[in-house]
A and B are shown apart, each in its own frame.
Chain A
C-alpha cells in the first residue's frame, strides 16, 4: 500500500517535471521572470551599469521577450555566461533563452540541438592592434601574440586563418572580455581578436581609444542571434517573432514615440496586425493581442535599440552597414506579419 502511494507520487512528480520542461512558456509564466543568458560584460551589448541594471543591444532582446510574455520588461533574471558555459546553461534549462553575441553555426544548431531564431547582428571577426605597432594588415601579423576567447568560433577561425596563410602566432587563451582587455592593455598580447562589433565596444571603453586600430580584414561571417533549446517550437516562435516584431516595427515606421498613436489604428493593415488592432496574431503565439506593442514600448524598434546602444551616436560608434534594413541595402529583413 505504502509502496504504491510512493510510486504513484513519483509518477506524478515525473509527469509534472516532464510537462514543465516541455513548455518553456508556462514555465516562465509560473516563475514570473525570464532567465536570459547574456555575456559577462560587453559594453553596448550586455553590461550592468553602476546601479546593477543590465543594458545593451542583447539585453534589449531579453527585455523585449519578457515584455511580450510577462508584460514587464524588468522581469528578467540576467545570467552572465562565458563562451564555455553558455551552451550548458541553455541545454540544462538554467536559462530560458540565450542572447550573447552567439554565432549561428551548423554544429551549434544541429549537433548541440539549439534553435537559432534569427540574426540580430551580422558580424565578422576582426583584429585590434595598438597603433604604435605599425601594423596595417592582418597579413603582417606573422609571429604575433594574440588574445583569444576560448570556446568561441573566433578561436577556431583564428587557427584556420593563420594556418591557411602559412603564418604562426602565439595564442593567449582567455575566458572573458574583461580578462582579454587587461592582457591587451598591459601588452601581454599584441593583438586582440573577436567579432568586430565586440572590438569596437571594447575599444570604446579604453582610456585612449585613438591609440588602437581595427585592421581592415574581416576573416569570417559571424551572424549573431538569440537562441533557444530544440524541442519547444512555441517558445522558439515567441522569441523569433519578438525579434521580427522589432525589425518590422522599424521597417513600418513604428517607433516608441508614435506607438500610442499607431495603436489607435492606421491605414496600414500590417501595422494593425502587428499591433493587434486587426486579427489575433498574438493569440496564435499563445499571447495576447498587445504583445508586440509591449515589445516595441520597451525601448523602441530595432533601429532605435541599435542607435541607443551601439550606433554612431554612442561611444562604440558602429555604422548600420550590413545591419541596415533590407530596403536600405542591409541584411535585416523580417518575414511579414500576416
Chain B
C-alpha cells in the first residue's frame, strides 16, 4: 500500500479528459490531428482538381528527355538528358550564385555599415542614401537594371571580330570584357599538373601548423617571430619551386576570337554577373544595417558600460 501511494494514482484513460494535467495536451493532439486531416483534404482536393484539368500532380516528367539546352552549367548536360538533370544543373547554379553573392554581399555590407557611422558627414550620408534606395527597390528590378546596363554599355562582342577589330582585349590580350560576358583564360593541367596544387594545399595546412608552433614558442620564450612574412613564404615558395622545377606543368589557355565568339578559356556570362552584382548590392544594404546595429551596441558615451560590454564578450572579467 505504501509503495502504491508513493507511485501516485495509476493512469486511467479517462484522465486524458478529466485530469487538468493531461487535458490541455489531449486537446492539442486532437487539434493537430484535425488540422492535418483538413490539410490532407485540401491537398487531395487540389490534386484531384488538377488531375481533372489535365495537369495531374506527377513528377514522372523528370525522367523524360528535356529537349532544351542550358548555357550556364557546372556539370555536363545536353538536350538529350533528362529534366531531372536539368533541374540539378539549375540547383548547382543557384548554389554557385548563393556562394558568390554571400561573399560579395558580406564585403559590401561590412564596408557600408562601417562607413555609415563615419564622422565624415558626406560619406555617412552617401551610405545612408545607398542603403535606403537599394533596400526599397525590389531585387528583381535591380537584376533587370544590372543586366540591361551590362548588355547596353559593355563593348559589343561584334567589335572583337574580324581582321581589324575595333575593340581590344584587356590585360595583355588575356581578358575580353564584352556585352555577352567576360572571357578569361583558364588553366590547363598538363602531366603532373596537380602536383603544385597539392603542394599549395599542403602549404595552407603548414601555415596553421606553423602558427600554432610560433604561438607556443612565444609563450615559452617571449620571442616574437615575423610570422606574416614567414607564412607568406610558406604559402607561395614551395608551390612556385615545384611548379618551375617540373617545367611549368600548368599553362593558361587564352580566349581566342573564333567566327562568332571567343573559344577557349572560360566565360563568365553577363547573366551570372548581373545576378551576382544585383543580389550583392541588394543584400549588402541589409547586411550594412545589421553591421551598423552591431556597432550601435557600443555604449560610446559611457566608458564603464563599454568596459562591461567588452568584458562580457571576452569571458571572465578582471576589474
Contacts and interface: CB of A to CB of B under 8 A. Distances in A.
A183 B274 CA distance: 14
Contacts of B305: none
B79 A188 contact: no
Contacts of B7: none
Overall SS of chain A's interface: mixed
Contacts of B79: 156, 159-160, 163
Contacts of B263: 143
Given A142-B259, A143-B259, A186-B179, A230 B67 contact: no
Contact of A171 (B69, B148, B180): B69
Contacts of A130: 158
A112 B271 CA distance: 31
A304 B151 CA distance: 40
Nearest to B70: A171
Interface residues of B, number: 26
Given A143-B259, A143-B260, A113 B54 contact: yes
Contact of B179 (A91, A133, A188, A230): A188
Interface in B209-263: 258-261, 263
Contact of B261 (A91, A111, A170): A170
Interface of B: 53-55, 67-71, 78-80, 148, 151-152, 156-158, 179-180, 258-261, 263, 270-271
Nearest to B152: A186
Interface in A125-152: 130, 132-133, 141-145, 150
A226 to B, nearest CB: 18
A72 interface: no
A113 B52 CA distance: 10
Contacts of A169: 69
Given A112-B54, A187-B158, A188-B180, A159 B260 contact: no
Given A92-B53, A187-B157, A159 B259 contact: no
A145 to B, nearest CB: 6
Task: Please give me the 8 A-B residue pairs with the lowest Cβ-Cβ distance, nearest first.
Answer: A113-B54, A159-B79, A187-B156, A156-B67, A144-B260, A186-B151, A188-B151, A143-B260
A171 B157 CA distance: 15
A145 B261 contact: yes
Nearest to B78: A163
B179 to A, nearest CB: 5
A314 interface: no
A155 interface: yes
Contacts of A141: 260
A180 B250 CA distance: 40
B180 A145 contact: yes
A159 B151 contact: no
Given A159-B79, A188-B180, A143 B261 contact: yes
B71 A172 contact: yes
Interface in A7-34: none
B80 A190 contact: no
B69 A159 contact: yes
Contact of A182 (B55, B69, B71, B148): B148
Interface string A153-169: 00110111001000001
27 contacts: A91-B53, A112-B55, A132-B158, A142-B259, A143-B259, A144-B260, A145-B157, A145-B260, A145-B261, A155-B68, A159-B67, A169-B69, A170-B71, A171-B70, A172-B71, A182-B148, A182-B151, A183-B151, A186-B152, A186-B156, A186-B179, A187-B179, A188-B179, A188-B270, A190-B261, A229-B53, A229-B54
